[in-house]
Amino acid sequence: MNIQTAADTVRHLLQAQNEAGHQPLAQNAIVYAPANIALCKYWGKRNLPLNLPQTSSLSISLAGHGTHARISIAEGAHALSINEVEIPADDPAAKRMFAFLDLFRACTGTYFTLKTISTVPVGAGLASSASAFASVVQALDTLFGWGLDFPAQSILARLGSGSASRSIDHGFLEWDRGQRDDGLDSYASYLPVEWPDFRIALVPISDQAKPIGSRDAMNRTVAESQLYQAWPNQVTRDLDLIRDAIEAKDILALGQAAECNAMAMHATMLASRPAILYWLPESVAALHRVWQLRADGIQVFATMDAGPNVKLIFEAKQQNAVEDAFDSIDVIDPFGYIEPDIGPLDDG
């Protein structure tokens, strides 16, 4: 089968299930998927319809910060509620999610009612789209009993949002860019390393709407920034450094490489025409504070995504010093997460 669109990809991955027919196993399915932060960033696509990245990327999941999703069959139209608020069909978030659900409706012939509860703190500047798309794929898989393996789940989540490909599991995940034109080798895999002392913290800077979303920003960077030519080499180097550092549980090597990678990503977008700058004065102040802490001997490192908020990387032994230096940060222990027996959507 010649795969050129997202719809082709879904049809291909659900081929066997399509032949068997789609029967929901229950009234609804409820799942949870964690958000993630890239330590080596995904920035730029090589194929827009299939949402294939220019480079590989690597992330850490955010434990209890993510999306609970409940999905059921609907009559006549999709319906979406986020945090118990009905989202109108003409809202951009609903349009994007309904377009994604339509990829599956083409196979199952059914509309869906989707309810999501995000446990990502409001104003923390974390995209909840990664965990949202991953949770929808896993909820559909559970509802219909498709039995999709992790690569297939990751590919399907990728069609909703690239970073969602890395939200199908907890821990460190690497999204391999893949080599194939059809994208069937472009999915994330779990790195088998448990690092109980690893911490990531969210420094809230601003919850104002961003001047430009990550998708448009990365497309403009690829099209307009001369510095983007250097990005694939940067990622190749940083990925090796970060993978090795995770393996060795070496926070200095990991932090240095992850911070450099984030700064380099922002440099590529700054050289776009017109320039893309997500940073606010408070973001710069937070970076200076990180660098001052390091000068004082505290091993803490920064990363930033498509927004003004700063995330901190460190180990448990530095947690008190980091909390003393930053007001109201949210410290996450990625390996300390225990699935709640009953999620917020389990009660009907």
Among the listed residues 163, 261, 283, 309, the single contact to ligand DP6 using CB under 6 A: 163
Both tokens of residue 100?
A: 């994604």
* Half-sphere exposure for 29 (CA within 13 Å, toward CB): 20
Among the listed residues 50, 127, 157, 200, the single contact to ligand DP6 using CB under 6 A: 127
Between 161 and 283, name the residue whose CB sits nearer to ligand DP6.
161
Supply the minimum distance, in Å, between the C-beta of residue 302 and ligand DP6: 14
Among the listed residues 14, 34, 35, 42, the single contact to ligand DP6 using CB under 6 A: 42
Angle, alpha carbons 40-319-277 (nearest 5°): 40
> Contact between 202 and ligand DP6 (CB under 6 A)?
no
Supply the minimum distance, in Å, between the C-beta of residue 309 and ligand DP6: 11
> Contact between 306 and ligand DP6 (CB under 6 A)?
yes
d(CA 246, CA 252): 10
Amino acid at 138: Q
> Contact between 51 and ligand DP6 (CB under 6 A)?
yes
Both tokens of residue 310?
A: 């700063």
Between 161 and 309, name the residue whose CB sits nearer to ligand DP6.
161
> Contact between 305 and ligand DP6 (CB under 6 A)?
yes
Amino acid at 156: L
Supply the minimum distance, in Å, between the C-beta of residue 217 and ligand DP6: 8
Stretch that binds ligand DP6, among 13-21, 67-75, 102-110, 159-167 (CB under 6 A): 159-167
Q: Are 286 and 307 in contact (CB under 8 A)?
A: no
34 forms beta bridges with 66
> Contact between 66 and ligand DP6 (CB under 6 A)?
no
Please give the size of the binding site for ligand DP6, defined by CB under 6 A: 15
Distances (CA, A) of 140 to 10, 14, 23, 37: 12, 12, 11, 24
d(CA 44, CA 214): 10
> Contact between 162 and ligand DP6 (CB under 6 A)?
yes
Stretch that binds ligand DP6, among 39-47, 60-68, 140-148, 325-333 (CB under 6 A): 39-47
Distances (CA, A) of 20 to 52, 57, 110, 146: 29, 35, 16, 10
Stretch that binds ligand DP6, among 13-21, 74-82, 161-169, 235-243 (CB under 6 A): 161-169
User: Per-residue DSSP letters for 102-114?
Assistant: HHHHHHH--EEEE
Among the listed residues 38, 63, 87, 276, the single contact to ligand DP6 using CB under 6 A: 38
Whether omega for the bond prior to residue 274 falls within 30 degrees of 0, making it cis, is yes
Between 22 and 308, name the residue whose CB sits nearer to ligand DP6.
308
Query: Binding marks (x or -) toward ligand DP6, 203..222, rule CB under 6 A?
Result: -----------xx-------
> Contact between 172 and ligand DP6 (CB under 6 A)?
no
d(CA 91, CA 16): 34
Both tokens of residue 131?
A: 């965990």
Q: Checking DSSP bridges between strand 310-315 and strand 301-304, what pairing results, if any?
A: antiparallel
| Residues within the interface to ligand DP6 (CB under 6 A) | 38, 41-43, 51, 57, 127, 129, 161-163, 214-215, 305-306
